[in-house]
């Protein structure tokens, strides 16, 4: 935690000062001209950036208090887990040495809705004020707050209303920080229109139809990135443009639409552009399977719709490989995996898929636990369950069972089934837990 680290930095700095001053009479060293700042121990930062971030400058008059505060400042940033210092001096002045240890966790800084600024401009301005910023930030500490202050100043300079806030984005399971997200609050930013531009192709009209859905929606970079990955690129990948790129330049500030009902004084409108570079259109040269033993290559390839010579369609391939995984799961290979590789031949605009299967071992049925129903209903449901203990587990069967089981339960209530499947790696068995929850009466 930043506070703990800061305290640790202070303690370590104080210890270092005590050690450095043991052989020096208490009143011998007085503040004097700072001749040099040396930095050791960091692998992540340039020594000159650490020196600049400590708050001291060459030529200033500095003493013990200034050195201690410099160590505290570096510790408070969160960029270092340990900070110590020592110094030497003469009549000419003092030389300070800062010894640091880099923190372990750094995450990307993301700027969600900073209209009017390019990423390069944002990073450059922050770096100018905060030398320890390199596009990433320590997962804890005060450096993230200092970045917020710099961004707020940039808004004021451009007379953009609103205030900057930031949030540490944590994994859903409460794990590590993944990124630090900066947003502008107190201002409404709406997309007036979104336009597809770039190299002309027959796919651009379909891409434009997807883009048109963004009109009057809140501008968020994360939302645009989602649209690119889940809506636009798949259109191109279905048609063989497997190396297509879509760039999203900074949005352009624009006037409100003439039919706008929003309060123009509190709403900012932007135009968004998606610049498409389709690249080559690839055709399928063939498919190579390796690692498969439970099923023949012919059996596996029979699940793939793409044929040699046809336009390569990776969206279709992903769907087909899901069917292959289900095929493996039906014979107990619940931990099977398929790694997709590819060999591109740009001279002929062809691609050859390299599909590597890791089968692991087949799993057998372990225990079945049915909850949420009375004993009579449980017995009936157990009789319906077809996979007996010790038999190969069929991963595709559970959904079929749930549909059939709900029909067997009393129909005067709505039943919501949930399930949890546990793979026992050592025993190579699968335990299935099914819970039926009665909802509102019909």
Q: Domain ranges in the chain?
A: 2-102, 106-185, 188-277, 283-358, 364-441
Model pLDDT, residue 8: 36
User: d(Cα 67, Cα 54) in Å, to the nearest integer?
Assistant: 9
Alpha-carbon span 181 to 168, nearest angstrom = 6
Among 51, 59, 88, 56, smallest CA distance to 69 is for 56
Q: What is the pLDDT of residue 253?
A: 83
> CB under 8 Å to 145, separation ≥6 — which residues?
166
Give the C-alpha distances (Å, rounded to integers) separating 342 from 243, 261, 314, 339.
12, 51, 11, 10
What DSSP element (H or E) covers 286?
Answer: strand 283-290
Among residues 187, 181, 206, 209, the alpha carbon closest in space to that of 253 is found at 187
Query: Do 340 and 321 touch, CB atoms closer than 8 A?
Result: yes
pTM of the model: 0.76
Residues paired with 270 in a beta bridge: 191, 253
- Top CATH class of 283-358 equals alpha beta
CA–CA distances in Å: residue 2 to residues 79, 100, 103, 168, 284? 10, 15, 11, 14, 54
**Tokens matching residue 235:** 């259109």
Which top CATH class is 106-185?
A: alpha beta
List, as own/partner pairs, every contact residues 338-342 make where C-beta atoms lie below 8 angstroms and the sequence separation is at least 24, other chains included: 342/242
Say which residue the tokens 């690249």 belong to: 279
Query: What kind of fold does domain 188-277 have according to CATH?
Result: Ubiquitin-like (UB roll) (3.10.20)
C-alpha span between 301 and 321 (Å, rounded): 10
What pLDDT does residue 316 have?
A: 97
* Per-residue pLDDT at 265: 53
Q: Are 289 and 316 in contact (CB under 8 A)?
A: no
Residues β-bridged to residue 196? 274
* CATH fold of the domain at 364-441: Ubiquitin-like (UB roll) (3.10.20)
The CATH architecture of the domain made up of 2-102 is Roll (3.10)
Task: Give Cα separations from 336 to 16, 122, 328, 389 (angstroms).
Answer: 56, 45, 7, 21
- Pair 260, 326: CB distance under 8 Å: no
pLDDT of 26: 43
Please identify every stretch of the chain with a pLDDT value under 50, giving residue numbers as ranges: 1-27
Q: What are phi and psi of 268, to 5 degrees?
A: -110, 135
Distance CA 140, CA 176 (A): 11
- pLDDT for res 335: 94
Q: Report pLDDT for 3.
A: 34
Alpha-carbon gap, residue 358 to 54, rounded angstroms: 52
Write out pLDDT tens, residues 13-32. Answer: 333 333 333 334 444 678 99
């Amino acid at each position: 935690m930043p506070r703990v680290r800061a305290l640790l930095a202070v303690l370590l700095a104080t210890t270092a000062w005590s050690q450095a001053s043991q052989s020096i009479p208490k009143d011998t060293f007085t503040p004097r001209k700072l001749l040099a700042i040396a930095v050791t121990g960091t692998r992540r930062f340039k020594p000159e950036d650490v020196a600049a971030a400590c708050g001291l400058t060459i030529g200033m008059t500095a003493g013990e208090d200034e050195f201690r505060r410099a160590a505290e400042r570096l510790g408070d940033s969160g960029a270092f887990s340990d900070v110590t210092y020592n110094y030497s001096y003469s009549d000419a002045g003092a030389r300070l040495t800062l010894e640091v240890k880099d923190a372990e966790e750094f995450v990307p800084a993301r700027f969600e809705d900073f209209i009017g600024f390019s990423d390069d401009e944002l990073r450059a301005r922050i770096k100018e004020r905060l030398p320890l910023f390199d596009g990433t930030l320590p997962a804890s500490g005060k450096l993230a707050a200092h970045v917020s202050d710099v961004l707020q100043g940039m808004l004021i300079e451009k007379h953009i209303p609103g205030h900057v806030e930031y949030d540490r984005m944590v994994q859903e399971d409460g794990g590590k920080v993944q990124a630090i997200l900066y947003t502008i609050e107190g201002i409404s930013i709406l997309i007036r229109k979104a336009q597809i531009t770039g190299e002309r192709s027959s796919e651009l009209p379909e891409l434009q139809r997807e883009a048109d859905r963004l009109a009057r929606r809140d501008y968020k970079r994360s939302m645009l990135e989602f649209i690119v990955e889940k809506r636009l690129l798949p259109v191109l990948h279905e048609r063989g443009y497997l190396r297509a790129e879509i760039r999203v330049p900074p949005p352009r500030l624009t006037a409100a639409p003439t039919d706008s009902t929003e309060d123009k004084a509190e709403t900012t409108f932007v135009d968004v552009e998606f610049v498409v570079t389709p690249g080559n259109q690839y055709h399928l040269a063939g498919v190579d399977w390796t690692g498969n033993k439970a099923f023949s290559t012919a059996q596996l390839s029979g699940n793939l719709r793409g044929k040699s010579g046809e336009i390569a369609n990776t969206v279709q391939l992903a769907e087909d490989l899901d069917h292959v995984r289900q095929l493996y799961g039906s014979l107990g290979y619940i931990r099977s995996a398929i790694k997709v590789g590819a060999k591109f031949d740009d001279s002929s605009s062809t691609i050859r898929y390299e599909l590597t299967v890791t089968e692991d071992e087949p799993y057998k049925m372990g225990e079945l636990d049915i909850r949420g129903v009375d004993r009579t209903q449980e017995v009936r449901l157990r009789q319906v369950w077809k996979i007996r203990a010790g038999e190969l587990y069929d991963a595709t069967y559970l959904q079929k069972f749930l549909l059939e089981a709900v029909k067997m339960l009393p129909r005067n209530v709505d039943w919501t089934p949930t399930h949890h499947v546990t793979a026992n790696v050592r025993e190579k068995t699968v335990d299935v837990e099914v819970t039926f929850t009665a909802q509102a009466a019909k």
